[in-house]
Amino acid sequence: MILARRLTWMILALAVLAVVAAATPFLFTAGPGPAHHTSVRGEEVRLYGYGPYRHMPADVAVQGLAQDAITLAIGVPFLLAALLWARGGSRAGHLALCGAVGYLLVQYFMYLGMGTYNELFLVWVALVVVAFHTLLRLLLTVPPAQFEVVGDSRWGRRFVGGLLLVNGAMIALLWLGVVVPPLVTGELYPAGLAHLTTMFVQGFDLALFLPPSLLAGYWYLARRQPGGLLAPAYAVFLTLQMIALLAKITWMSVVGASPGPALVVIPLLLVGAGTASLLGLRPHHGATLS
Question: What is the residue range of 115's domain?
Answer: 5-284
Q: Would you say residue 290 lies in a domain?
A: no
pLDDT computed for residue 2 by the predictor: 61
pLDDT tens-place string over residues 242-287: 999 999 988 888 777 666 777 788 899 999 999 999 999 999 988 8
Q: Would you say residue 64 lies in a domain?
A: yes
pLDDT computed for residue 1 by the predictor: 53
Is residue 218 within 8 Å of 157, Cβ to Cβ?
A: no
pLDDT tens-place string over residues 150-166: 778 889 999 999 999 99
- 3 state DSSP class of 50: coil
pLDDT computed for residue 39 by the predictor: 76
> What Å distances lie between residue 126 and 18, 120, 288, CA to CA?
10, 10, 31
Q: Would you say residue 110 lies in a domain?
A: yes
pLDDT tens-place string over residues 5-30: 889 999 999 999 999 999 999 999 99
Q: Would you say residue 212 lies in a domain?
A: yes
Determine whether 231 is exposed, middle or buried from the number of CB atoms within 10 Å of its CB (0-12, 13-18, 19+). Answer: buried
pLDDT computed for residue 84 by the predictor: 94
Q: How many helices (H) and strands (E) does the chain have?
A: 10, 2
138 or 194, which is more confident: 138
Q: Would you say residue 73 lies in a domain?
A: yes
| 111: amino acid identity, one letter | Y
Number of structural domains, the chain? 1
Q: Would you say residue 289 lies in a domain?
A: no
C-alpha radius of gyration, the chain, whole number: 20
